[in-house]
């Protein structure tokens, strides 16, 4: 759990009775098509090939999801060299660099790629710009696995910047031969500001505008934007390392709402409800609906309130096809090694 609004630092007096009248649920919230696909890939791989299935990195950024898959037989590793020979290997939704892909290939690991197709699209863009002879700027958060994956899709060194200030200070080799791409889960406003600085400083820079920000990130941010004027408290369910969840919390706080990022019901604090009549709830793209329902139950234990489902939002209908490796048993895991645990 974390918070950024100054109000949120002060504990509210417990003497004030809770008076929540409505709990508004953002629409859309929670799982996106890329996360649903990645989780299904691991589940189907376990079904078809049997456990263990080795997953490089957390399949999606959510401890509940990871634990659930671990219980079913998934083994999470940091690098492919921790996977025993022949072990069924899944790359996470965030995507991987070419180096990771080649090291799996070199070891002849049977790989299933759960990279979200929208991240793969950004990989292609970066490669396309490099082929054009352009130097690449990646707007994103240093150290995020998606940023590492995208940076590692091109041969040159990529400039990773996250703020307009960093864009102001950016030094490049050839200002006339530049291109940018972005992480898919950024704040729309911040990205727009960074792009504005880049295009002012480097008028011939090429880039996709805000189109790399994925539909799910945009829709969840728009839903918070619509809901914020109607609530005094916003609870965002998501992991501390989930980029899109953090952006939802930031957006609520920027709009003047006390906003908290919580991993689940156990982190919601009763004193946050003092003086609140309407609570807004949303969830990051990797947070399961079960966690949302548990937060609602906890709030209702403290104060009976009407739940308003789907507050003014749009209904998403995006689905991504599963890869062929989990549509039929075409991989050949090595029976010698797959029963061992990871290093
Ligand atoms: Fe794909 Fe967007 Fe979901 Fe990330 S948040 S997995 S880019 S759909």
Instruction: Give residue 1's pLDDT band: very low, low, confident or very high (50, 70, 90).
Output: very low
Q: Atom of ligand 1 at shortest distance to CA of 184?
A: 7
Quick check: 87 and 54 in contact, CB under 8 A?
Answer: yes
> Does any ligand 1 atom lie closer than 6 A to the CB of residue 33?
yes
Q: Which residue has the tokens 């209904």?
A: 315
Q: How far does residue 190's CA lie from ligand 1's centre (Å)?
A: 18
Which of these is catalytic: 146, 168, 210, 289? 146
> Does any ligand 1 atom lie closer than 6 A to the CB of residue 118?
yes
Q: How far does residue 87's CA lie from ligand 1's centre (Å)?
A: 26
Instruction: Give residue 18's pLDDT band: very low, low, confident or very high (50, 70, 90).
Output: confident
Distance CA 127, CA 154 (A): 6
Distance CA 338, CA 209 (A): 45
What percent of the chain has pLDDT above 70? Answer: 92
Catalytic, 146? Answer: yes
Per-residue pLDDT for 167 more than 50? yes
Per-residue exposure over 120-133, b if at least 16 CB sit within 10 Å of its own CB, e if not? bebbebbbebbeee
Distances (CA, A) of 67 to 28, 58, 112: 25, 10, 20
What is the average pLDDT across 239-262? Answer: 97
Q: What local confidence, expressed as pLDDT, does residue 312 receive? A: 78
Q: Whose CA is nearest to atom 2 of ligand 1?
A: 214
Instruction: Give residue 334's pLDDT band: very low, low, confident or very high (50, 70, 90).
Output: low
Q: Atom of ligand 1 at shortest distance to CA of 244?
A: 5
> Does any ligand 1 atom lie closer than 6 A to the CB of residue 119?
yes
């Amino acid at each position: 759990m974390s918070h950024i609004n100054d109000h949120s630092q002060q504990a509210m007096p417990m003497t004030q009775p809770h008076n929540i009248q409505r709990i508004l649920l953002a629409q859309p919230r929670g799982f996106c098509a890329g996360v649903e696909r990645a989780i299904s890939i691991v589940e189907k791989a376990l079904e078809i090939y049997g456990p263990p299935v080795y997953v490089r990195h957390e399949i999606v950024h959510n401890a509940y999801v990871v634990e659930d898959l671990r219980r079913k037989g998934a083994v999470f590793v940091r690098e492919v060299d921790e996977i025993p020979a022949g072990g069924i290997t899944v790359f996470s939704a965030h995507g991987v660099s070419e180096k990771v892909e080649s090291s799996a290939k070199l070891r002849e690991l049977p790989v299933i790629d759960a990279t979200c197709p929208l991240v793969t699209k950004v990989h292609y863009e970066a490669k396309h710009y490099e082929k054009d002879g352009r130097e690449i700027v990646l707007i994103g958060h240093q150290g995020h696995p998606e940023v590492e994956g995208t940076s590692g899709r091109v041969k040159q060194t990529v400039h990773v910047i996250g703020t307009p200030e960093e864009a102001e200070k950016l030094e490049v080799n050839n200002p006339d031969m530049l291109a940018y791409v972005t992480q898919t889960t950024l704040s729309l406003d911040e990205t727009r500001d960074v792009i504005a600085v880049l295009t002012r400083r480097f008028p011939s820079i090429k880039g996709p505008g805000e189109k790399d920000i994925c539909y799910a990130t945009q829709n969840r941010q728009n839903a918070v934007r619509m809901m914020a004027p109607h609530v005094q408290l916003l609870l965002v369910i998501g992991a501390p390392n989930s980029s899109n969840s953090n952006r939802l919390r930031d957006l609520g706080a920027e709009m003047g709402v006390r906003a908290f990022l919580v991993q689940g019901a156990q982190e919601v604090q009763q004193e946050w409800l003092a003086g609140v009549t309407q609570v807004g709830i949303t969830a990051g793209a990797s947070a399961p609906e079960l966690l949302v329902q548990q937060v609602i139950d906890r709030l209702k234990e403290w104060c009976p309130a009407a739940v308003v489902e789907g507050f003014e939002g749009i209904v998403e209908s995006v689905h991504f096809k599963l890869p062929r490796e989990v549509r039929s048993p075409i991989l050949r895991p090595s029976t010698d090694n797959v029963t061992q645990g990871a290093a």
